[in-house]
Chain A
Amino acid sequence: DAKTTQPTSMDCAEGRAANLPCNHSTISGNEYVYWYRQIHSQGPQYIIHGLKNNETNEMASLIITEDRKSSTLILPHATLRDTAVYYCIVRVARGYQKVTFGTGTKLQVIP
């Protein structure tokens, strides 16, 4: 799986959009970009994934650059409950392919 690089930590004011960047310059053509988050002392939660088009669901939006070397996860209106570690992962979209976690970004939403 391709390696990803994320900032160690970020702050965001409550109610504002949180934009979390991820670099994955060695991504292969058949690898998807996945985002998970882990709230303290819980298992990771799936957020969103995409291949090359931008994606949106009820939780977040995913913006992938045209060259696919980087992406941004957008939480449109951050709340205190969004405080978590956010992991950007690239992997082939097959069920048996393992999910390997990097260090992620610790997002702190501030009141």
Chain B
Amino acid sequence: GAVVSQHPSWVICKSGTSVKIECRSLDFQATTMFWYRQFPKQSLMLMATSNEGSKATYEQGVEKDKFLINHASLTLSTLTVTSAHPEDSSFYICSATEAGTEAFFGQGTRLTVV
């Protein structure tokens, strides 16, 4: 299957700082990318959908000014958690899809805010 690479795999940051997570589609052009957040023992919760060259569409309850999403090219989307706080500590996962049917997922980023 197609490969989606997410970087970094884990990151620890101080409260108040910003963290950027990258999501790359390695062997296909991702017209649409999705960002999810997952808390321990819970399912994945969709945060936002981004289409290349357009503004992201955020799910209800997700602060767009806190979670900045950029999808500037067909192979790269970034999620920036701004002014991170301990409650933002979570597992962040991206997904990418071409015009086809399946969505492929990155390996996830474990964010810990201290």
The answer for the CA separation of A49 and B10 in the assembled complex, in Å, is 31
- Number of chain A interface residues as a range: 20 to 34
Which of B43-51, B60-68, B76-84 lies at the interface with chain A? B43-51
Shortest Cβ distance from A7 into chain B, in angstroms? 15
Within 8 A of A (CB), among B76-113: 91, 93-95, 97-108, 110
B100, B102, B104: most-surrounded residue (chain A CB, <10 A): B102
Beta-carbon nearest neighbor of A102 in chain B: B43
Beta-carbon nearest neighbor of B4 in chain A: A43
In contact, B105 and A96 (Cβ under 8 angstroms): no
Q: Which residues of A contact B6 (CB under 8 A)?
A: 43
Q: Which of B1, B49, B106, B110 touches A46 (beta carbons < 8 Å)?
A: B1
Is B75 on the interface with A (CB-CB < 8 A)? no
Shortest Cβ distance from B93 into chain A, in angstroms? 5
Q: Which of B4, B36, B43, B101 touches A93 (beta carbons < 8 Å)?
A: B101
The answer for the CA separation of A103 and B31 in the assembled complex, in Å, is 27
B residues apposed to A, CB below 8 Å: 1, 4, 6, 31-32, 34, 36, 43-46, 49, 51, 91, 93-95, 97-108, 110
